[in-house]
Amino acid sequence: MTERAQSTQRALRLGTRRSKLAMAQSGHVADAVRRLTGRPVELVEITTYGDISREHLAQIGGTGVFVTALRDALLAGEVDFAVHSLKDLPTTQPDELALAAIPRREDPRDVLVARDGLPLAELAAPAQGRVARVGTGSPRRMAQLNAYARDRGLRIETVPIRGNVDTRIGFVRDGELDAVVLAAAGLNRIGRSGEITEYLSVDTVLPAPGQGALAIECPAADEELVAVLARLDDPHTRAAVTAERSLLAALEAGCSAPVGALADLPPSGDHDVHEMRLRGVVGTTDGSTLVQLSTTGPVPTSHHDAVALGRELASEMLAKGAAGLMGERAL
């Protein structure tokens, strides 16, 4: 067997975080790459700083804490490619690494897992006779949930939490919290969507930029692997999340800042839709002040167009005072 033939048979090493969700996400990508290449793919588990720190994400900076160790492994040649939750990626892409594919996005919405199967409006209604304790590790969610409750006369206390899905849902099952807020995509990917009490409308809580999307990254110098992985890319998802992440970058905010964004096609009965709507929000965590704006433009046909859409909305939000609400700046 020639050296070339032996090389094509070597297992591709996929770097992944160790959590149940990360392993599930990486497993789906591994299956897709096996089908594309006919080569075996092995998962290489890597522990990141974000996995071992017990501090809240806002305290440890958020930006890159789940990503740096995976990128170091890529650059050291210890793995061939890596899978990230896109919302965890810093907005600046290293020249040495290629964002080879962003597969089709899962449901980007946030969801509630609550006691007694209650939706938020009932859980936190004054008639309940007490303040509903709602757990989340996200300043973005806190800001929007508190603003929503304030506007509707609901009684909630947002409680900062950390931990994996089991830990977070356990806070509700044990009675420590009345509800927790999680990402729909994560629960769907690990087969636990049946535990969702309520899907939170994006009109109530805008998701994190890139939420629900995965990022497949590999060394930029490996042009053959870049080309293979690129076949998993979904152009619409890439355009949408590029606009969202451009907004985040232009606001000079890290991924733990209270910034929400979602780019999507506006509702239409006409299948020939040519516009994309981008919505953004920044707020104080107590919900007392929100800057929430949207813009609509042609569906981006290039990276430059998607970036421009995000920067345009960020500029409008900054003009409305968004800079003073974020509480952190990018590292």
Number of H helices, E strands in the chain: 12, 13
Q: What is the pLDDT along the chain (331 residues), one digit of tens a residue?
A: 344 444 457 899 999 998 899 999 999 999 999 999 999 999 999 986 554 445 544 444 445 667 999 999 999 999 999 999 999 999 999 999 999 999 999 999 999 999 999 999 999 999 888 899 999 999 999 999 999 999 999 999 999 998 889 999 999 999 999 999 999 999 999 999 999 999 999 999 999 999 999 999 999 999 999 999 999 999 999 999 999 999 999 998 766 678 999 999 766 555 566 889 999 999 999 999 999 999 999 999 999 999 999 999 999 999 999 887 775 433 2
Asked whether this chain's domains 110-199 and 240-323 adopt the same fold, the reply is no
Active site residue 80: no
Q: What is the pLDDT of residue 323?
A: 83
**CB hemisphere CA count around 85 (13 angstroms):** 26
The Cα 240–Cα 306 span in angstroms is 7
Among residues 51, 80, 88, 272, the one annotated as catalytic is 88
Contact criterion met (CB below 8 Å) for 185 and 107? yes
Q: Please state which CATH number belongs to domain 110-199.
A: 3.40.190.10
Query: Which amino acid makes up residue 59?
Result: Q
For the domain made up of 3-103+213-233, give the CATH fold: D-Maltodextrin-Binding Protein; domain 2 (3.40.190)
The domains of the chain are located at 3-103+213-233, 110-199, 240-323
CATH 3.30.160.40 fits 240-323, yes or no: yes
Q: What is the pLDDT of residue 54?
A: 52
Q: What is the 3-state secondary structure (H, E, C) of 187-249?
A: HHHCCCHHHCCEECCCCCCCCCCCCCCEEEEEECCCHHHHHHHHHHCCHHHHHHHHHHHHHHH
Within 8 A by CB and 6+ apart from 108, the residues are 184, 185, 202, 207, 211, 212, 213, 262
- pTM for the predicted model, two decimal places: 0.87
Q: Contacts from 174-179 at CB under 8 Å and sequence distance 24+?
A: 175/115, 176/133, 177/133, 177/134, 177/135, 178/114, 178/115, 178/123, 178/132, 178/133, 178/134, 179/112, 179/113, 179/114, 179/115, 179/118, 179/120, 179/123, 179/132, 179/133, 179/134, 179/135
Q: What is the pLDDT of residue 329?
A: 38
3-state SS of the chain: helix, strand, coil percent to 5? 40, 20, 40
Q: What is the pLDDT of residue 31?
A: 97
Within 8 A by CB and 6+ apart from 25, the residues are 16, 83, 85, 189, 214
The Cα 298–Cα 101 span in angstroms is 23
Looking at the chain, how many residues does it have? 331
Q: What is the pLDDT of residue 162?
A: 85
Phi, psi of 141 (to 5 degrees): -65, -40
Helix pair angle (165-173, 20-37), 10° resolution: 140
Q: What is the pLDDT of residue 219?
A: 97
